[in-house]
Structure 1
Amino acid sequence: MRTTSALRRLAFGAVFLTTLAACSSASDAPAAFEDLTDTTEGRASATKVVGYFPTWQGDVNAIQYDKLTHINYAFVLPTAQGGLTGLSSGDTRLRSLVQTAHGRGVKVLIAVGGWMDGNDAPFEQMAANASTRTTFINNVVAFVDQAGLDGVDIDWEWPEPGTSAQNFGALMRELGTALHARGKLLTAAVVALNTDGIPSSAFSDVDYLNIMAYDWGYPHSTYDLAVQSLNYWIGRGLPKDKAVLGVPFYGRSQSGAYTYAQLVAMDAQAPYKDQVSDIYYNGIATIQAKTRLAVQQGGGIMIWEISQDTANTTSLLLAISQAIGGSGGNQAPSASLTSPTNGASFSAGSTITLTANASDTDGSIARVEFFAGTTKLGEDTSAPYSLAWSNVAAGTYALTVRATDNSGASTTSAAISISVTGSGGSCAGVPAWSSTQIYVNGDKATYNGKLWRAKWWTQNEIPGAAEWGPWELLGNC
């Protein structure tokens, strides 16, 4: 699930996308959100925010610790004889992670297992024998003690129904007893739904389950899947406060995987939609809708994995933190962009009036901010909320608004797309496009009687050949 070769390769090469397309699933999320209506147990103060952090990539010092409650360091691997391999308890990076996290009040667990190239035989063989289970438990407890950890996350992918499930139950029972006696946590990562490999007897042995509501079908992580996953596990008897909903910080196509940070680097509008070409992922609006669902219907939210995030205002972890701040005691405001409409077209140089609706059920709206992609255009602090966007250049824009209430909770609206066409400036002195020229962000060229500007590094890519491409049309010469 998590350590597939495709995901491991994300750290080692650039991803080149082929086309861009808008997706409406984020805007559909509020309707799906109403599928679960029991919100009486939503408590932001008890919400868990669990971030997996891999052994093979990511900067310990770049983690947004203030937005997490738990970090699962992934992975150490089990052996059939009950040993542990692949990572030592004295690993300097792990030590640094634990020290820094504990200084910020964040718990750190060691995640055991993972995808293991689809071979769960070490788990199967170890758990089937009482002696090797005991050896494994002793090694895990020693690892936790020596590294100063707060607990263990078992990521066995996957126990099968029958004997395998019984052995999983025995392992969790015995490991839970050993860890809880020392004041440590035991958690487990589980498939989204429809599995008999996890016995309900294990529910009392774990502190919570991390429900992997992703890598399931195509698109791989819809809002509906999140609803179905919580319904499934809670319906089986898992207490709500032990149901932690998993979300992806990556996208999947039918041929590969892409980090959220890579998608944002390739398409500045990626945070405001859920699809780039044939790659499906969760943008800000969907992540926030899932977070509110997780707070109100479960015990929190889990992320695979936090090194795939951005480090600015487009951060999905920031979006999660904002949504949690608006849950429980303080409800997040609502926000929608009412004008212009999706698909509207304007002439270059126009002044476009943006209008928005925003409301707050338990407070007041402090401000409404207007964005084109990641660029803030301005804000309004009183209703009716509007902004005059002057002298707009030619191009295609994803527009959103973000409403913030008087307690600091905020909500970002679904994006709408508009196009601005027409003259974008003089072509005088601008050289014609050349296939041998290297262009960087901001460079201009003329091609087929039109003026173009490069959005990023490019060579031998014809202006206008692909909608997603590196060239922005400024207008006719």
Structure 2
Amino acid sequence: MGKIVTISLGGATGAAGFTSDAQASAFADTIWDTFLGGSSSTRPFGGAVLDGVDLDIEGGSTIYFDSFVNQLRTLASGANKQYYVTAAPQCPYPDAYLGTVLNEVGFDAVYVQFYNNYCQLTSFSNANDWDFSDWDNWAKTVAINKDVKIYIGAPASSSAAGSGYVDVNTLANIALTTRSQYSSFGGVMLWDASQAYANDRFDAAIKSAIIEGSGGSSSSIPVTVTTSTQSASSSAPSTTTLSTISSSTPSTTTLSTISTTTTSTLSAPTGAGNCAGVNAWVANVAYIGGDEVVYNGHLWTAKWWSYADIPGGVAGDWTDDGACVAAALRVGQFITPITRASLYR
């Protein structure tokens, strides 16, 4: 089937909204032409055609979003490939922002954020708080698409969310228990890829734990990893959601891997010392814990995920490892490949 890559709209600090059905439909046309199956002089990903849209609306208004989704469905109806529409609501049911639109149009998958709320993963043993049953009931009795799958959204590290993080074994047990109880269960979504990678490859660990919990067979729960992609030629990050969707049951899902990698064609500078061969810091590249850069003649190591935070700045994202013995890098020079995200399903 390959890997499904969708573009996510909204976010924790977004306040998106439409003022009319016509505006919503027009924006759907723009998304279709810019990222999906249409054509435009502006295609950020060139000839790559994404597989759909994810709605992560956590602010503003969702009035007219049904027109946005319906227009996307109309445009995709005559396409030679399938396109997907997904959503990422908060776990309190119904979701404060997406609740209405979830009931008005069909979704292929819903990635419920079981963190930063009373119904988070750490409340799994509390039947009064853990509410996957409410989402399962919605999927079976309210949702337009009765085949919609519900994913458990989980933080990939303790720093990925304000609360709700659980370790790999706990998350695997929750996922396996939930799968055994609810047929709408679709898999596990992690926020986000960079922090999963920095957290001892939390993504790989949860995949392994779930396989073992399934008896070691090739069938497993799909794991979705969400990431942000940045281009060195762009001025702002473009957020995408890497996700897996399957119309089959979880027991028939196989595991495979996708990675997004940034590479360059520049050669490493000559010179000895602790900075030889290390990249210069670049403002529009996301870094994860352990990444090394050169900035103002010093070697710096990232403490955790960061974006556009200057080494030595007030954010405190970088550790100063001292002055370089030799560094012939220009500002913005980019040398070694950096892998940014991995997706398992």
TM-score by length of 2: 0.48
Q: Which has the higher helix share?
A: 1
Q: Which has the larger radius of gyration?
A: 1
TM-score by length of 1: 0.36
